[in-house]
Amino acid sequence: MEHHQNHSQPGLNLATKHHLPKVLTIRPPTVFKSVESDFSQKFQLVKPGESQLPLDQFLATHAHDVRAMIASAATPVNSDLLRHLPSLKCIVTSSAGIDRIDLQECRRRGIAIANAGTVFSAVVADTAVALLIDVLRRVVAADRYVRGGNWPVKGDYPLGSKLGGKRVGIVGLGSVGMEVAKRLEAFGCTISYNSRKEKPSVSFPFYSNVCELATNCDILILCCALNDQTHHMINKEVLLALGKEGVIVNVARGAVIDEKELVRFLVQGDISGAGLDVFENEPEVPRELFALDNVVLSPHRAVFTEESTRDCVDLMFANLEAFFSNKPLLSLVKNQ
């Protein structure tokens, strides 16, 4: 990756390598593979995946000199792992979401967390809008119709719905939610939102109750973090409030929705459609959804483009450099 060429120090010998700061990588993000050699120029990567030892034994051998770790969205960082790492003071994750990290335990141990910040916000918003347009206009379903040879035989494909003029409720008006709002305003949609607290800088109507938001909207777009407050926030009551004509788009986390209820509503025609990038038990997706033409499915790829991936890797590198230089982290998770 050309972005990293300036990080390299060619000809690092083994002795020098051992003086590099140690960085633990457990189940590193997939994007990491292509840039690992660049990181290795500045950091000694500690990789339990390449050891024959059980994880706890492996960690015991490095416990006192590992001060930083790289985590992916798939790495559970819980108290069990952290007790093996008494010197750990910094976790750099490739994900904007931090629901797999035990924040309370990190706070107790004085561990700072740097996430992906806003590097993914624009591309996630693009995906949310793409899923919404696809659900309303049945782009993928119409594509299947054409490829299946149905057009000459069965005639014109059924009509979809217009996006402009729709009332859109955004759940979670952080950096992703704001990017979604900006895009949908340009389409002529009316925006309202639900968030942990009202944002004084925003002119959109605020609903402190998600049910009320759903009652007053045609479409719900989920952009919030997954935590104890938002787990199964979109339940039977909210789906009923959204109603038969309602559409839901989820680019947050699967468990923000009670998936069993969502499937039931979609199968019975009690809501109009859904665009889903995330699911409750990934990579498992409820099979009932496969047969529905009003549902668009995406394999948790909203954050990934070549550009956003490169930006994320650069941010991770910069966060680690900042940490080991005693400088402020670039994307510190505040109020963790």
User: Looking at the annotation, which residues are catalytic?
Assistant: 253, 282, 300
Q: Which of 91, 74, 124 is nearest to 24 (CA)?
A: 91
The neighbouring-strand residues paired with 193 are 170, 206
45 backbone dihedrals φ, ψ, rounded to 5°: -80, 125
Q: Which of 220, 294, 284, 288 is nearest to 257 (CA)?
A: 220
Sign of the four-CA dihedral 283, 176, 232, 217: negative
Q: CA–CA separation, 115 vs 93, rounded Å?
A: 5
Across the chain, the runs of DSSP E, i.e. the strands, are 22-25, 44-46, 66-71, 90-93, 112-114, 167-171, 190-194, 219-222, 247-250, 273-276, 295-297
The neighbouring-strand residues paired with 71 are 93
What DSSP letter does each residue of 24-61 carry, written as one string? EESS--GGGGGGHHHHHHHSEEE-GGG-SS-HHHHHHH
Q: CA–CA separation, 100 vs 106, rounded Å?
A: 12
Question: Do 94 and 149 meet the contact criterion of CB atoms below 8 Å apart?
Answer: no
| Exposed / middle / buried, residue 109 (Cβ in 10 Å: 0-12, 13-18, 19+) | middle
Q: Which of 236, 219, 228 is nearest to 171 (CA)?
A: 219
Q: CA–CA separation, 197 vs 176, rounded Å?
A: 16
Rg (CA), the chain: 23
Question: Do 75 and 26 meet the contact criterion of CB atoms below 8 Å apart?
Answer: yes
